[in-house]
Structure 1
């Protein structure tokens, strides 16, 4: 879904993360606040894994969208594309990807746009971009664009209305127009406004501003935009101050920071207070959108929002091609560390019974005495089995091997369950002939099934390894991978 449509829906009193009740963008009391987060590509693999974990926690607060930056000089292009894809399709948050002109011939720009389009992403922030590392000024490359205006025109011309296009606005004028005194001349300021209107007239439907710390400057900027005919929503960009070395801030902010500059916690607390007051003032003036530059940090941004913790349901797909699906795939293979992060506390619930028995919170197992009696053959049935009594291989353990002394382990073998068509099933079965250690069983809703495991064979998915000195119990097939197929034979 395009971000502009979400903003219009919220302004009309609809759902900023779903359907719209109307069009346009107003400041009525019925309109809902739209907030969003910006992230940048980390420099290390561990940093990327940690970013996904952080995104998961922040997306819990239901932002209307999140964006990911492109990197100076296109230095993180491939990583940005990969992160954007995972944000849209795994984190399931509406994603806006930055795209710049720096070091980007038209062919590479189209390749990036086609990639995100195929991944169901509909939102682009079109920028000229910063100069590559080691250069002071932007230089147009051969076959590339010279400015964001050219990029906006190209996207609209080639891709029509598919993409929602956002452009940058500068409340104090573009940095290239800022003089040595820290200010732009009035003439340069108005030139920059006129250029912004050109970008909107060329097809941009949303403006997100550069960061600022003087709310009055932002409000004046919005009014100046309206005076020259810019009518699209203008989203204020807020960056919480996290340290004393923040970029240009008003004199009163510098004065407030000076006494606490050596106290990081105090500086951060002040940054949260300042950001909160800025947002309150902006909202009080009828602007119901806020974009937070997080610098990949969560605490200050979330503290400013103070969002109520809504009961979270499974996030629906945000990929434009999959919005009607009611099943969300979980690609843990792409996010192993995120999986560990999600499950690290499971041994605390309930009462530590599902984790490591060496954990000090590990609970008593009195509730499972019935299962013990069942395994010993003294109980005919159990809630965990549809069959009456023990099967022959389990009786062998009782009669000949025994369950071993305390201190053993139970292992669970990896297996897959999925739906597929008959044609794909035939291809899988054919492939499995080359991998005898892979077993499969496929069944359709009519009850017909096929498998490479005979009715009398044992294919252990779970097996036990008693304590040292005992024989392994029910460990046959321990190196196998079980594949289960569900529909379409």
Structure 2
């Protein structure tokens, strides 16, 4: 069924339509567990779900598979994202062909992110430069078979300097054949309402579906609003700042805020459809729907559902609750690779990328020493970002900042780290997370790049302490580790809270390191491509991307702070 035929009609019960956005997890077990999550969420009877599309078709197989499974197994209408940037005509044709064969009839046509290196990028010869090109092409090739959605930006596209021109472009996409609009997230209702009126005044009459993202954590929230250049009312920022150390309080606030936004749009402004960005999580969105009284009769967020079936036994209730909440407190880069939310990517279509405007951020490095100085400046707080770090360092880094600086001066370029913590209160302003009344623990770990000439000496140092475990790999896929069990999981952050199981939000394992290794070395390439061909900066970054190794090193005695730095530095 076409989505437009569903969302353009008022429901008999007067309740609105709602939909959920997912992304393809990076691991096979994560995909399998997302299917279980879809089964539970299907009980809420969404109008449709959407699934994101990786840049250049990087997630094509999993995106199409996820949409096809949701459609065929769970009976959920699906909206497949499709980007055209860095996608040749052959890839677009294949994606559309596979979508049709899988019974997918709805496409969200997006430009997508330009390749990271956009300053020196030329569009594909096939002419897909903008989303309107994709909309036109789909209509030319498939007539009215596909229902086509497009993206709208209430606060203006991040690449645009003229919001009025944005609306002109939006109208052109509708006239080219788009059936409905899904908006970028926002947290100011008045901004959306004003923008929607501008759209209507300009003659855009298709349904406009507001995008809603419940806040899941303070760190993720700050990251996405910075990347999307989203304006947030001051009182929301103040409220969050007061509770940022309490992850549970932030999640509760996120549910309340999303409920308030949707309620106002529905009751005051008569919006009848909402698109929730889930980040592949489950509980917050279900709670929002429950608080709004949008859920079908008999389906509540507190009702345990397992594999799409109501669960009544105590044991299965506990199992279902665990499946719903096991990734409730994502904390840092390394989550549980079994989680559907593992590898979450909040870089939506058109969002500014970490390496964009590289020369303005990091100048024109021409030697390894220049790279060292950039990392030291980041550690000291003089720089706010690096290609692998899109936010300033967290407060907890103060405990090891001097040691990190020493490592970087020695040519070990750190991209992630944490100090050891032995039972800090969960509301501790530096180390705390999770609900109040608990205690948190951390093992010391460091993640860094190191050039191949330093590799032998580093490995000799690490071998001196048997309590240390490490993973290492280079761009070519060569790897080294002292962890014998490929499937072992090392919890490096955990918390103990009243009335809860032990929560382990940060787990380092081979599969998660491998997934991050691919992305980390892609960022070397993307940084490199920000500079002109044949420039010294581009040559240097290409060489370093090929030559360096990525290390993740853990000291497993969390009662011995600073020991890891002593071992590495000799």
TM-score by length of 2: 0.50
Task: Tell me, yes or no, if structure 1 residue 208 matches structure 2 residue 191.
Answer: no
Q: Distance in 2 between matches of 1:269 and 1:204?
A: 36
Contact 1:122 1:162 in 2 (8 A): yes
Task: Tell me, yes or no, if structure 1 residue 150 matches structure 2 residue 125.
Answer: no
Q: Distance in 2 between matches of 1:119 and 1:136?
A: 37
Contact 1:103 1:144 in 2 (8 A): no
1:54: which partner in 2? 37
Match of 1:297 among 262, 278, 281: 281
Task: State how 1:332-343 maps to structure 2 within 5 Å.
Answer: none
Q: Distance in 2 between matches of 1:342 and 1:31?
A: 26
Match of 2:157 among 155, 163, 174: 174
- Listed one character per residue, the Cα deviations across residues 319-350 of structure 1 (whole Å, up to 9, x for unaligned) are xxxxxxxxxxxxxxxxxxx97x979998969x
User: Gaps (5+ residues) in structure 2?
Assistant: 300-305, 317-570
2:67: which partner in 1? 84
Q: Distance in 1 between matches of 2:100 and 2:71?
A: 11
Q: Distance in 2 between matches of 1:137 and 1:57?
A: 45
2:295: which partner in 1? 308
Contact 2:182 2:210 in 1 (8 A): yes
1:162: which partner in 2? 145
Q: Distance in 2 between matches of 1:259 and 1:167?
A: 37
Task: State how 1:75-474 maps to structure 2 within 5 Å.
Answer: 75-132=58-115, 139-177=122-160, 184=161, 188-245=162-219, 246=221, 247=225, 248=230, 249-284=232-267, 285-306=269-290, 307-310=294-297
Q: Distance in 1 between matches of 2:296 and 2:196?
A: 31
Work out which of the two has the higher radius of gyration on C-alpha atoms and give 1 or 2. Answer: 1
CA shift, 1:132, in A, is 3.5
- Listed one character per residue, the Cα deviations across residues 408-444 of structure 1 (whole Å, up to 9, x for unaligned) are xxxxxxxxxxxxxxxxxxxxxxxxxxxxxxxxxxxxx
Q: Aligned residue pairs: how many?
A: 297
CA shift, 1:121, in A, is 1.1
Partner SS for 1:131: coil
Partner SS for 2:8: helix
Partner SS for 1:126: strand
CA 1:143–1:295: 2 relative to 1, 3 Å: same
Partner SS for 1:62: coil
Contact 1:104 1:144 in 2 (8 A): no
Larger helix percent: 2
CA RMSD of aligned residues (A): 2.4
CA shift, 1:74, in A, is 2.2
CA 1:91–1:216: 2 relative to 1, 3 Å: same
CA shift, 1:105, in A, is 1.1
- Listed one character per residue, the Cα deviations across residues 351-379 of structure 1 (whole Å, up to 9, x for unaligned) are xxxxxxxxxxxxxxxxxxxxxxxxxxxxx
Q: Which range is displaced more, 133-142 or 229-238? A: 133-142
CA shift, 1:84, in A, is 1.3
CA shift, 1:32, in A, is 3.7
CA shift, 1:116, in A, is 1.0
CA 1:289–1:158: 2 relative to 1, 3 Å: same
Contact 2:85 2:130 in 1 (8 A): no
